[in-house]
Every structure is written in structure tokens, then in C-alpha cells.
Structure 1
Amino acid sequence: MLPTIDVARLGDVTQDPTFPEADGGGVPRPQALLLTFFGGYVLGRHVHVATASVLDVLGRVGVSEDATRSTLSRMARSGLLHRVRRGRSVYLGLTPRSREILLDGEARIWRIGAVNTHWDGTWTLLGFSLPESWKRQRHVLRSRLLWSGFGALQGGLWVAPSPVDVGPLLDGLEAADHVKVFQARALPPTDVGELVRDAWDLPSIAGRYHRFLDRWDGAALPVEPADSLARQLLLQSEWLQTIRQDPRLPQEHLPQDWPAERAQRVFRSVHARLDPEARAIAADMLDTIPDEGGDEDAPAEAQEHASAG
């Protein structure tokens, strides 16, 4: 079962940077890169980090200073970052909203795994029928369903391959009064393999894993960016965007050559290879100050990865 993130606090989750690919080439947007950086080097460390340090880090990935400054300002306005001034310097820290997003990402990367190998046969079924005039409500509900791993079965009937707590998913939606939710098991003559192929675009999901493997699976890492901190930041951002769009379908109903497990092994291997030097670079370059609020809600895995240097 996926962890429950309060999607209602994200608004329209299709606009959240960790959900869709950044552009047609799959390159993460600056906001996705920034969240990956804050997840790796701020979450769980009880610090704010200087804007100048953040500009340096994003510059190593090829993001311009103007683009980074603009994105940081937008993130602060939307409640993803907290700013503190010390003299002429501005330091950036996390907010409850950004912590929630980052903790969800940590769980997906380090605890859950890319393939559902322990499925017990339970499906969550969600049906809705909304007035034609509720286009915005329909759009937001569908985007939240996609975020939560649902696929469109037929008409207004959606299905997810695990138990799902739909309370946070429906919070704040007027459409919630028009939704019915059940847990169920498939019975004959239902062909579950056909159901999976109909409800989810398997070639598209597999294609994202193949693109990840094309870039990172090999003895030689990509030539750009040049240093381990930048490469690790890009690696983890690309991986999170890949698994964000994967509903973790039951392994027994996926093609035998499904690439997710291989891609996960590659991600973890390359991440471990880059991590010592990346941590050393970060320790040398990051200007931080204590965070009065702290990250008390960070789980052990997040604190371990965030404080390893």
C-alpha cells in the first residue's frame, strides 16, 4: 500500500513538480530538481540553506540563476519554502507542505519499491458521476486519482491495485458527495491481465523506465553534468518522476520483461556510487544555519540519507 499523502493540500496535483515529466525529453523542471535537493540535503537536518548555495547547486545541473531565483520565489509564495534573512543573506527551509511531499518521495524511493510483489488480490474501486458543468471538479478529481495510482476502468469507474485511503484524496472537493468507494476482488470471468492493460497505458509506463535505463545503465555515467553532486541530483529527480507515474501494478499481471526492477537496481547502484563524493561536495559548499522548527516528522530513512555527511 502506498503511503497516504494529503493530495488535497497539493491543489491540482498535475501541477505539482514531482508528478509529471518536466518536458517532452523527460528532463526534470527546476522545481523538481530543487525539491530533490531539499529532500536530500535539508530534510531531517534541522537547517536552512543559503540561497547562494542553492544557486550554485542548480547551476551545476545547468539551470540558470534567473530560472532558479524565479522558481524559488514561486515556491516560497506557494508555501513550499520558508525564507529567513541573516544580514544580506537569505536562507531557505522547509514548510509542513514541502515536508509532506518530500517524505512521500522518500517512502516511494527507499521503502516501497518499484514493483508490487506482494499483492493480495485486493482492488479499490471508485465510481463517480458529476454534472457536465463541473469540468474543473472533474479535472481535479481525475488528477488526484492518477496521483494515487488509479486507472480508468470504464466511464466513471476507476480502479487501484491496492487498498487506498481516499479520505485525503477527496478532501475539499465538492465532488466527494458524488463518489462511491469499494474494496473488491476480481472473480471469473474477469481477465485481470486484460483489465490491467485496459486501465493503464503499460507501453507508456515501461517507456519511462527504458528512457531512464538508456541514460543511466552503463559503466560510464552521462558526461553532463560534470560532478557527482549534480549527477546524483539529476539521477534522483529523474527516478522519482519515473516512479511517480507508476501505479505499482501486481507483478504477476505485468509482462515478463517489465523493466521496473532492473531500473530500480540501476538507480540504487548509481546512487550509491555517487553518494560519497556528492556528500563531500555538499558538506564543503553548503552554507546553512540551524532550523528552529526542525524536521521532527522525518522518518529514519530520510534522516539517514539527509544527514549522511
Structure 2
Amino acid sequence: MIPHGDPPSPDAQVRPQSLMLSFLGVHVLGRGVAVFSGSVIDVFARVGVSEEAVRSTLTRMVKRDLLARHRAGRRMYFGLTTRSVAVLRDGEHRVWRSGAVNDDWDGTWTMVGFSVPESWRSQRHDLRSRLVWGGFGPLQNGLWVAPGVVDVPGLVDDLDLNAYLKVFTARTAKPTEADQIVHTAFDVPAIADRYATFLRRWDHTHPVPDAPDDLARQLLLHTEWLQLVRQDPRLPAEHLPPDWPAIRAEQVFRTLARAYQEPARAIAESVLDTVPAEIPPP
């Protein structure tokens, strides 16, 4: 399950909801708690997000079934929903299990052909956005490809466009080469540039010196990295330059994530006011 809407733009400023999802994934997922809104405001102030923006984000995420309200006395707490758990588990998988470097590709491609009426502009936009989110790139008009086997129904079932789709798994055959597909369907230099941008910001002895503490640095790091890997189709490493920047970027992310983990957890425990909260059934 994925959040509705487009994948983040590569140059977009980090949005409060993206920061919120990172915060929930690191400090709420799996703990069975809801968090007091005031303590969330405290945490987000550390990364320059205003109280108004936090409250607006919390309200919007409740409306989208990504958060549930829990009242305790006069205080309002926010906990996870079945839907947000699925979104956060997907992010956790992309960050810690899939990884940024696809060095075990078996030569399989997932192909999606579609023919949606031209007048259905909104549906076409939503379909393309979901395909990009799922790691697909446009090989030619109406034909998109992604490396590996992709759960296409999990991406697009709720769009009600199945009658307009044709989905295959395939391998290339002469005269077509996998390298051609990689460099035709995907903007390889743009992907590399996003990783290079991450490295310029984080590959230092003391990255983000203006952040007040390791909780703030952890929140920024995880948010930027998750946005980065969600935009990465995980192209086969054998068809990418040997100095592919994702290799170094992932090393930097993992090193910093480990360094920030315990200090950030200690700060969060001192700041966060929580109450037990069950996830409501779907």
C-alpha cells in the first residue's frame, strides 16, 4: 500500500508529512503507543517546522486515515492506523532490506502496457505517478518497464484501470540489450545527481551543523534518504557506472543512522508524552 498522490519531486523541499512519516516510522511504529500533539510540536520545532504546520499535518493525516486520534483527559494523542502501518512497513523495507544498490538482478523485467482514453487525464496522471513510485520508467509510448518482478496490482488496483492494462514479466532477447532499456526508460544522470546531492549534504564529519541535536539530525537524515530511495528504480548495478554514487550514499546513511540511533532515542524518550494505543481493525 502506498500513500495517495505523487512521488516526491527530486528538488522539492522536504514536506512536513514526509518528516512526520519518518518520525512515526522511527519512534512510534511497533511500540503500540499514541503521541501527544504538543510533544510532536516540540520535536518538529527542532527542524524548523512551525506549530501551525504540525497541527495542519496531523489533521490532514487523520483525514487520510494515516493517523487516529486518541483523547486522554484534555490532551489529544495521535496513533497509527492499519493504513499507516502498511505505509511505514513499506518504507522500512525499502530502507533496510531492498537497499539502494541492486546487485542481484536476475535479468527479469516487469512490463506494463496501457491504453487509457485521452480524455481521462486525471486517471492517466495517477497511473503514471503510481508506476514511477513502483520503479517503472517509460520505454516507449504506452509501455513502461521496471527491473525485477513488481506487484503491479498492489500499486494500481484502487485506480480501477485494470481493464486498460496489460502486465508481463519478460527477459530481453537479441537485438535488444538490457543496457538499452536502462538508458532509454530511465534518466540515469538525474538519479546519480540526487545521490550526489545527498552526499554533499551528509558525507562530512559533522553534517548539518545547524541542527540542534541528534534527534533533529536523525529526522532529517531518514526523511531525505527515504525520499531518495523511493525515487530510485533500483536499476541493475551491472548496467550502471562502477562509481555509482548510491553505493557511497548508502554507506553514509547507514553509518549516520547507527550513530544517531541511541542519542536520538534518549532525547525522544525525554520529550515524547505517549499513551498505550491499539491499532483499530481495518
| TM-score under structure 1 length normalisation | 0.88
Q: CA deviation at 1:261?
A: 1.2
Question: Could you tell me how far 1:31 is from its partner in structure 2?
Answer: 0.6
Q: Which runs of 5+ in 2 are unaligned?
A: none
Aligned counterparts of 1:39 and 1:290: Cα–Cα separation in 2: 17
1:20 corresponds, among 5, 8, 27, to: 8
Measured after TM superposition, the shift of residue 168 of structure 1 is 2.0
The aligned runs of 1:237-252 (5 Å cut-off) are: 237-252=223-238
The aligned runs of 1:30-49 (5 Å cut-off) are 30-49=16-35
Name the CA shift for 1:222/1:170 in 2 (closer, same or farther; >3 Å): closer
| Maintained 8 Å contact 2:109/2:146 | yes
Q: Residue in 1 aligned with 2:269?
A: 283
Q: For 1:96-111, list aligned pairs within 5 A.
A: 96-111=82-97
Partner of 1:146: 132
- In the TM superposition, residue 170 of structure 1 has moved relative to its aligned partner by 2.8
User: Is residue 93 of structure 2 the alignment partner of residue 112 of structure 1?
Assistant: no
What is residue 185 of structure 1 aligned with on the other side? 171
Query: CA separation of 1:250/1:214 partners in 2, compared to 1, >3 Å: closer, same or farther?
Result: same
1:94-243 equivalent positions in 2, closer than 5 A: 94-243=80-229
Q: Deviations 1:123-156 (Å, cap 9, x if unpaired)?
A: 1111011221111111111111111111100010
C-alpha distance in 1, partners of 2:15/2:146? 28
SS of the residue 1:83 aligns to: strand
Distance 2:114 2:263 in 1: 51
- Contact persistence 1:124–1:162 (CA under 8 A): yes
Moved more, 191-200 or 208-217: 191-200
Q: State the one-letter code of the partner of 2:107.
A: G
2: CA distance, partners of 1:77 / 1:178: 30
Aligned to 1:301: none
Checking the alignment, whether the CA contact within 8 Å between 2:137 and 2:185 is kept in structure 1 is yes
Aligned residue among 42, 53, 70 for 1:56: 42
Cα shift at 1:55: 0.2
Gaps of 5+ in 1: 1-5, 296-309
Q: Which residue type is aligned with residue 57 of structure 1?
A: V
1:294 shift after superposition: 8.2
Q: What is the CA-CA distance between 1:256 and the residue it aligns to?
A: 1.7
Q: How does 1:47-86 map to 2 (within 5 A)?
A: 47-86=33-72
CA distance in 2, matches of 1:172, 1:39: 24
Task: Find the counterpart in structure 2 of residue 273 from structure 1.
Answer: 259
Q: CA deviation at 1:283?
A: 1.1
- Cα deviation code 1:225-264 (max 9, x no counterpart): 1100011000000000010000001000111221111100
The worse-fitting range, judged by mean Cα deviation, of 52-61 and 170-179 is 170-179
Runs of 4+ in 1 over 4 A off after TM superposition: none
SS of residue paired to 2:161 = helix
Distance 2:9 2:268 in 1: 26
The amino acid that maps onto 2:267 is I
Worse-matched range after superposition: 79-88 or 153-162? 79-88
**Between Structure 1 and Structure 2, how many residues are aligned?**
281
Q: Percent identity?
A: 55
| 1:74-98 residue CA offsets vs partner (Å, 9 max, x unmatched) | 1111111101111111000001111
| Counterpart-to-counterpart distance in 2, 1:164 and 1:292 | 32
DSSP 3-state at the match of 1:131: coil
